[in-house]
Amino acid sequence: MNRSKIFTFISALIFTMIMVINTQAQDNSLMMATTTSTDNTGLLDYLIPHFEKQTDIVLKWTSTGTGKALKLGQNCDVDVLLVHAPSAEKKFIEKGYGKDRRQIMYNDFIIIGPANDPAGVKGKSISDVLITIKSRQALFMSRGDDSGTHKKEKQLWQESNIPLPDKENWYVQTGQGMLATINVAQEKEGYTMTDRGTYIKYQSYKGGNAPLKILVEGDSILLNQYSVLTLDPRNCANAKYDLALQFSDWMASQNGQDLIRDFKLLGQKLFIPNAK
């Protein structure tokens, strides 16, 4: 065998090995769509290094509203979802887009606003809060982005028998994530609804003394459940179902649940594990 043939053979062998290595690396990566709250709070930055070390799976994610995350799953643009809109999630599975749904953790929604509470909503039921905000035309900041938080807010207006506000001057739809919406509410000295985890993160940015205070909390209707959804291979043949299932299993494992429980800011738990 002459030198040129040897060189060609070795080059082809090296190329093949590189392709195999790249393919293995690609096969071991997982793409997730998740909510802004799991990203903004720092939970994923805390959890994922543990997951990757224990499973050798490389997890990447994009954070957006739950509505958009579900759409990414429907279009097979990701492999797995971590979201918080139970009704929409169940419909997603019923329509054949998702295969498995596993509850992982929860926190709750709260109403926050200026410390002087100009509308006088502190301590009221959520229904009375919304009625008061509308009747007094108190500034209210809505995500307005089809996120899990926005879906919950729309549900609360509906269950309070109040038409969903739209173009009213007092009702501001930011079209942004939760932290950004809280900052708009602070700037305009208005009210908003947020998940508790993101509020604690906001508090941490303010040295523990945030201008916007918790005014309404504790109602059972304000439960905020987070779940992992895998995609149905019949709809998304290229989605990495086995790796997605490993992620779901890990999040629900004792180790994953303990890590979620131990994640704190300002001495406060941001999420409560409740895997099933």
Q: Is the pLDDT of residue 26 over 60?
A: no
Report CA dihedral (107, 111, 112, 113) to the nearest 10 degrees.
180
The strand pair at 140-142 and 191-195 is best described as parallel
Cβ-contact 74, 67 below 8 angstroms: no
88, 191, 214 from 208: Cα distances, Å: 34, 19, 13
Percent of the chain whose pLDDT exceeds 70:
91
Decide: helix, strand or coil at residue 265. Answer: strand
**Section 7-16 average pLDDT:** 56
pLDDT of 27 reads 81
Closest CA to 134 of 104, 160, 100, 112: 160
Per residue in 152-205, pLDDT (tens digit) is 999 999 999 999 998 899 999 999 999 999 999 999 999 999 999 999 999 999
Confidence of residue 276 (pLDDT cuts 50, 70, 90): confident
103, 143, 238 from 52: Cα distances, Å: 21, 32, 21
Closest CA to 35 of 173, 160, 117, 146: 146
Q: Which domains does the chain have, with CATH numbers?
A: 3-107+225-273 (3.40.190.10), 108-222 (3.40.190.10)
Q: Is the pLDDT of residue 248 over 70?
A: yes
Where is mean pLDDT largest: 13-17, 218-222, 247-251?
Answer: 247-251
3 state SS for 144-173: CCCCHHHHHHHHHHHHCCCCCCCCCCCEEE
